[in-house]
Structures are given as structure tokens and as C-alpha cells.
Structure 1
Amino acid sequence: MSHVRIEGLTKRFAGKPPAVAVDNLSLEIEPGEFIVLLGPSGCGKTTTLRCLAGLETPDEGGISLGDQTVLDVRGKVNLPPNKRRIGMVFQSYALWPHMTVRRNIGYPLRTRRVPREQARTRIEEAAELVDCAALLDRYPAQLSGGQQQRVALARGLAAQPDLVLFDEPLSNLDARLRDQVRAQLHELHARLGFTAVFVTHDQSEALALGDRLAIMKAGRIEQLDTPERVFEEPATEYVAGFIGMSNRLPLLRQGEGWALASASGADGQAGAESQTVVDELPVPRSHSEVSARLRPDDLQLCPAEEKPPAHSVGLPAEVVDAQFGGRHMDVVVTVGGSRLHAQAPLTGKPWARSLSRGQRVTAWFAKDVAIYYDADGVRTAGHTPTAAVGA
């Protein structure tokens, strides 16, 4: 285990203009902590990981692992990967096809010149940890995808590194295997307590594995907090959209109430086709324009003639598509100019089974389940997380 400190890390790639992949990023990781870098393609998460590994040379900044400085751009320190005491698990497994599982797991031990007998013990211990001890004499081509990924994990742990880096290691597995290996990885970290940085674009992986999540945008950390806080209190609209609050309703203040902004004019005022949707929302009066963010399972549907519950916002909607999802229907509706996703439970609601394209319904949500963001994408009401925003 090792404490990790990243200070002012910046990485640019040549071009006109140069592309800034990582932008003055600072982060501290406690010994034994599992940090997940989460974000879409191009946000800088993989480049950050590669800088930690020594596979990319940053333009500015510093990195220390424990009491060892592995990168100091000003001081012209940049240790190569084999000097950094790290383990790495790749998306593509990266196993040597001509080597047995035993030799693949032992490869980092050979590069560190670990004595043969000690290396043999470590290989067998690492293989036992990930349940692939019976595979040691096989070759990668004889293994399933899940088995290959477990071998890659064993290789990353065999040298007992100060830090283990994971570059989207589950993305090549099918859904069942992904869940299985994810659960094994979570259990393994709980048992061994290694320090880890895990890169993914999958929010379910991030929520399940991370002690803290760093949501990245344009090379910076948009929010850094526990999975629970990020999920329940996304600090910005960008984070809300990425963490599953995919439904967005743009609203403009209209007198004492609010109107859908889908038909707003060039001056930003609600157009003639806008409808007042609710008289009161938990938003400070200083805001004239907000966006409400909701998860699909927070958006409810009922027949058009049925009145939604009290303390809720009801909106006339039209069904675009409805798909059977087991215990619910996955439904796409349009509200004004907004396309929204809802999950209509089938238990006790037989009418939801017959939802069809073009059908008029009422979409509604409880006022307190939505999170509201101002024109700059920052939360407008309620408790603001203490996480780093824009750090």
C-alpha cells in the first residue's frame, strides 16, 4: 500500500492548437484507497492513468508514491515504469501468447529480478487469490475471456506493488462475466487492501468498486466524493447527466410559476407554446432559468385522464416507444421539445403493457426527487456537496 500524490499534472498532445488531455490536475489517494476515474471518452482519465504508470511524459506537474518522487517535471525526474513499483491491468489483457499462465504472472517478477523460489511462491499465491491456480500450465489461447482477465489481475498483484492501475479491465467481458469479475475484484480489494486507481466509463462499475469517484471533464476533476454522495448529490449538471440522471427538463420562470423552455424565443423568455408546469419549485427566486434532472425510474407515467399525486409535477406527454423490460416497461416520451425516459412498473398497472407509439399520457415526478441546476450547470438548491468542483 502506498500514499499517492498528484500535483499540477498537465499533459498536452501536439496539434494546432495543442490538445490538453490533463489540465493542472491534483489528487491525493490514501493508502489502501480504491479511486475510480469516471468519465466519457476524451475526458483525460486514461491519460492520467498512463502518466501515473510512466507510459506518458507529462508537460508539467509531479507524482509521488509514498516517500518516492517518481515524477517532477521541474526537477527533471521521470522514473520509467519498471522503477515505479506499480502493477497494471489492461483492457486487452495483454498476455504473452507464447507463455504459460505461470510465466505470464511471473513476468513482472523476472523484470524485478526476484529470486526464483520467492517468485514461484508469489506466482502461486497470486493465482490462488484470483482462482486460477488450476490454469498455471495452460496458454492464453486455452482460456476464456474471464479466465484471461483473472490471469491479468494476478500478474498485476504478483509483484506486491505499491499501486495497482486498472485501465477499463472489464469492458471486453460479456455482461455476466463482467458482474462476476467485478464482484471478485471488490472482494479481493477488501481482503488485501491494495491502493488502486481504476479507469472506467461505466457508472455501475464505478459505484460498486470505488471508495471515492473522480468524475472527469476536459482533463479536470468535476466532482470528487464517495459513490453515495456523487449518486445522490451530483454537484454539477455534467455530473448528474453522467451518473444516470439522463432526463433533462429546461425551465424558465414565468410569473410565480415555471414554464417549459422548449419553445423559448431568442430573448430567453418563454414562447407562446410554453406551458406553466408548476406554481412552486424548491429553487431560489433569484434564478430565472433552471434545468431539472431526473433518473428514468424517478419519472412516472399514468393515463392522460388521471390526476398525478399531490406535491408532484404533472406534464402532458406522448409515447414515442415502449419496450418490455421484465417487471417494467422502458418508455420514451416527449414532453414539449424534451425527449425523456421512464420506467413504468407492470405490477398493479396492467395498462402499461399496452402503451403504444403516439399514445397520450401524463408524465409526473415528485418535486423533491429532481435536482435543479442553474444556467451554468451548478446546483441551485439544497445541500451542496463538499466535494471538489472544478478542481
Structure 2
Amino acid sequence: MSYVSAEGLTKTFKGRPPVTVIDGLGLEIEEGEFLVLLGPSGCGKTTTLRCLAGLESPTAGRISLGGRTVFDAANRINRPPDKRSIGMVFQSYALWPHMSVRANIAYPLKARGLKDKIKEGWVEETARLVDCEALLDRHPAQLSGGQQQRVALARGLVARPDLVLFDEPLSNLDARLRDSVRAYLHELHAKLGFTAVFVTHDQSEALALGDRLAIMRAGEIDQFDTPRQVFEKPATEYVADFVGMANRLLFERGADGWTCQGAPVAGAPPAARCSLGASGRLVARLRPEDVHIAPAGEVPGDGMTLLKGRVLESGYGGRHIDATLTLEDRDGAAAGDRLHVRVPLAGPGGWAGELAAGQKVAVGFRPADARFFDDDGEPSAASSDGGARPAPVGA
């Protein structure tokens, strides 16, 4: 039995018209697992988290935590948050400004009638775990953002809950501090082994923290898998776009061979082993670092699908150049969507440091680096890994 289970979870907000933000969602989380709900704003991830916490009442469905039913719409069971043995870490920290750090951390123990645990030193022990023991007598206004987040984490853990919920807890931190706290959180989970659900829209956070990822779209889960599988084999074009395959190339095969958004294609066929379906079209998704460029008239590399392009703009990124390109059709006019390219400055890409707007370049990619989809955003049949969209979670 899964430690956390949600079946047929639906949440509809009343209005004219009503808005359904979670639609029949199924979720299974194992004990000690760190699950990340990943998706853009409005996809339903925070509402899902709030339903697990008891802060929102679903319209339909069932939730169980540790084998105990905490919500069942059919049987009118709805345990309040303080009866669900959960800890929660909020995006805004939500620390009481008039309380000391010690009192903030102790608050869940008092709220649950566990005052004897305060005498046993649970507050100090938890503060020591998150490296904020020296801050216990300060107030939130005297702390930095990173220190406040550690206090919020201690408060979420102090009552030793069965489940810890994180609602985008790192989004208010600057980039350097966010990386530091993320690494610390990963280390803390490995040490304590708590079960967690973490909401974020940041794919780098999701990949670094999650044992598994649930990629959400419009209140449903598009893909539920390990970070590596999601990154390497996105199950839909929506997932591919969200995990960094920002470049979208539309290919068509005609009597004269392949074209890409009206531009002629040379070199390796873009998808020799993929089925085109009735439309004769195929969408390739690529990461910026998997698109290669070379000076016009040269070849970016062996075994590549080749196109012609023109630089729109470029920017210095330290050890690489980020450039935006447009493809050129047979008449030299711009064709299709823009391409984003990341070119390392070391080695063969060193010439890219002199890229200028309007400069013509050769463009290429290796078909093995692309993920191919049909018109409906589903993986093309007979693609190189044979992968298909997984069955719905809990099915």
C-alpha cells in the first residue's frame, strides 16, 4: 500500500462558469519518497497540495495518509489539517513576527497538545538539524531570507509529521541562496527520510530534489516518472517543452524530400525511424545545447540534420554564448519559429564569441538528441526509444 494515496481527486471552484482546477487526479506516493509536483502557474499543483493538507476541500475523490482515510467525498470524511499529521513549509515563510524563533518552531507542538515534547527538547533538536540553533532567541525581522526559510523548515518538521508539504519554499530566495538551501534540503531528506510533496515551477529544483516527478497540466498529470526519465524521454510535447526542449521544429516530407518550416533539409534524415501518420508532419523538440552552429558553408558536425540560419541576437553567458536564430527558406527569407542555441566558447565553438546580428550560419542537430511528436503532442510511433505516454497514475 502506498503511504499517500489520492483517487479521483477533483476540485471545482464555484462561479459563473465553475472552474475545475483538479480533474480526477490519481496519485500514489511511497513512504520516504520525495515527490515533486511540477508545472506552470494555474496547472493545479498548489491546489493539489492544499487538498492533501486539508486547507481545501475537494469536490470529489478520496485521500489516505499512512493507510488512514483523511478525506472521502462519498462518505463525508474530511479530517482537519491538525488531525492529518502533516508539516507545511510555505512560500512566504509565514513566521509569526511577534514571536521568537523558539516560539515559532514550538507552535505546532503547542497546537497539537504536545507541550511535553517542548520540555523534552524537540525544539532545540530540530533547530540543530536545520542549523538555526543560534537563532532561537531572535525574531523573524532580525533574520535573512535564508535563515527565515530554515526556521520555517524547522517548524514544519518539529512535530515529526508523517508527511511534509512544501509550497514553492525557495522561490523568494535569490539564485545563490536558493541553490544552497536546495542542497541543504536534499541532504536533510536523505538524513531524516521523511515523506514529502514539493510544489515548484522550476525544473532545476524538481530534477535536483525529486525521487519522482509529476508533471501537471490543467489539473491532470501528463507524466509521472523519475527525473531522468522525464528529462530524457518526455511523454508528451507539453512535458518536453516544460523540461527544457524549448526549440520546436516542424518537419514535412514531400516528393522532393524533407522540409522544416519551409526551409530545405540536408544531411541525415530528421526521423528516419519515426511514423509520420496521416498528416505527413512531425514535430522535433530540442534543447538549446543540442542545436549546433558553424560558420556559413561549413558543417556543424557528423551525422547531423542540416539547415541554414541567420543570427537575430546573441549574448555573452560566461563560458558560452546564447544566441537566437531564424531558419532561412530557399529564397533566404526567415522561416518558422525562432531557435535558441547555446554554444560553448571553448573548443570548436570559440568562434561564436564574434557572432553578430544578421550573420548567416550553418545549423545542425543529431536526430538522436531530439524527441519527436505527432500533431497531437504524443510521441511519434516507432521513435528511437519506443517510449509511450504512461498510463494514468493509480490506474
TM-score normalized with structure 2 length? 0.93
| Equivalent position of 2:345 in the other structure | 346
Q: 2:385 aligns with which of 380, 383, 386?
A: 383
Assess if the C-alpha contact under 8 Å between 2:267 and 2:303 holds in 1. Answer: no
Matches within 5 A, 1:173-188: 173-188=173-188
Assess if the C-alpha contact under 8 Å between 1:224 and 1:387 holds in 2. Answer: no
How much does 1:117 deviate?
A: 5.0
1:337 alignment partner, SS class: strand
Kindly indicate whether residue 283 of structure 2 is the aligned counterpart of residue 284 of structure 1.
no
**Cα distance between partner residues in 1 of 2:180 and 2:392:** 34
- Call closer, same or farther: CA 1:286–1:364 in 2, change over 3 Å: closer
| Equivalent position of 1:98 in the other structure | 98
Amino acid of the structure 1 residue aligned with 2:286: L
Single out whichever of 113-122 and 314-323 deviates more from structure 2. 113-122
**Cα distance between partner residues in 1 of 2:195 and 2:386:** 29
How much does 1:187 deviate?
A: 0.3
**Cα distance between partner residues in 2 of 1:290 and 1:228:** 24
> Tell me, which stretches of 5 or more residues in structure 1 are unaligned?
264-273
Amino acid of the structure 1 residue aligned with 2:337: S
| Equivalent position of 1:316 in the other structure | 308
| Equivalent position of 2:332 in the other structure | none
Residues 173-210 of structure 1: per-residue CA shift (max 9 Å, x gap): 00011000000000000011000000000000000000
**Cα distance between partner residues in 2 of 1:279 and 1:194:** 49
How much does 1:305 deviate?
A: 1.6
Assess if the C-alpha contact under 8 Å between 2:379 and 2:387 holds in 1. Answer: no
How much does 1:337 deviate?
A: 1.7
Amino acid of the structure 1 residue aligned with 2:340: H
**Cα distance between partner residues in 2 of 1:279 and 1:124:** 63
Residues 228-284 of structure 1: per-residue CA shift (max 9 Å, x gap): 0000000110000000000110111213732123x5xxxxxxxxxx42445622343
| Equivalent position of 1:337 in the other structure | 336
Amino acid of the structure 1 residue aligned with 2:133: A
- Call closer, same or farther: CA 1:109–1:96 in 2, change over 3 Å: same
1:383 alignment partner, SS class: coil
Amino acid of the structure 2 residue aligned with 1:383: D
| Equivalent position of 2:63 in the other structure | 63
Residues 45-80 of structure 1: per-residue CA shift (max 9 Å, x gap): 000000000011110001001121100001000011
| Equivalent position of 1:43 in the other structure | 43
**Cα distance between partner residues in 1 of 2:201 and 2:374:** 26
Amino acid of the structure 1 residue aligned with 2:384: G
**Cα distance between partner residues in 2 of 1:209 and 1:136:** 28
How much does 1:97 deviate?
A: 0.1
Amino acid of the structure 1 residue aligned with 2:374: D
How much does 1:390 deviate?
A: 5.4
| Equivalent position of 1:234 in the other structure | 234
2:368 alignment partner, SS class: coil
| Equivalent position of 1:189 in the other structure | 189
- Cα RMSD (Å): 1.6
**Cα distance between partner residues in 1 of 2:239 and 2:282:** 16
Amino acid of the structure 2 residue aligned with 1:305: G
Single out whichever of 157-166 and 113-122 deviates more from structure 2. 113-122
Amino acid of the structure 2 residue aligned with 1:366: R
- Call closer, same or farther: CA 1:54–1:365 in 2, change over 3 Å: same
1:305 alignment partner, SS class: coil
How much does 1:383 deviate?
A: 2.4
1:23 alignment partner, SS class: strand
How much does 1:309 deviate?
A: 2.5
Matches within 5 A, 1:118-197: 118=118, 121-197=121-197
Residues 73-132 of structure 1: per-residue CA shift (max 9 Å, x gap): 010000111111000000000000000000100111001111335455111111011000
Residues 320-365 of structure 1: per-residue CA shift (max 9 Å, x gap): 1111111111111112222011111211344211101111111111
Assess if the C-alpha contact under 8 Å between 1:106 and 1:119 holds in 2. Answer: no
**Cα distance between partner residues in 2 of 1:50 and 1:29:** 16
Amino acid of the structure 2 residue aligned with 1:171: S
TM-score normalized with structure 1 length? 0.94
Assess if the C-alpha contact under 8 Å between 2:109 and 2:117 holds in 1. Answer: no
**Cα distance between partner residues in 1 of 2:339 and 2:67:** 51
- Call closer, same or farther: CA 1:283–1:85 in 2, change over 3 Å: same
1:251 alignment partner, SS class: strand
Amino acid of the structure 2 residue aligned with 1:106: A
**Cα distance between partner residues in 1 of 2:149 and 2:156:** 11
Alignment identity in percent?
A: 59
**Cα distance between partner residues in 1 of 2:73 and 2:199:** 24
**Cα distance between partner residues in 1 of 2:225 and 2:350:** 41
1:329 alignment partner, SS class: strand
| Equivalent position of 1:297 in the other structure | 289
Assess if the C-alpha contact under 8 Å between 1:257 and 1:277 holds in 2. Answer: no
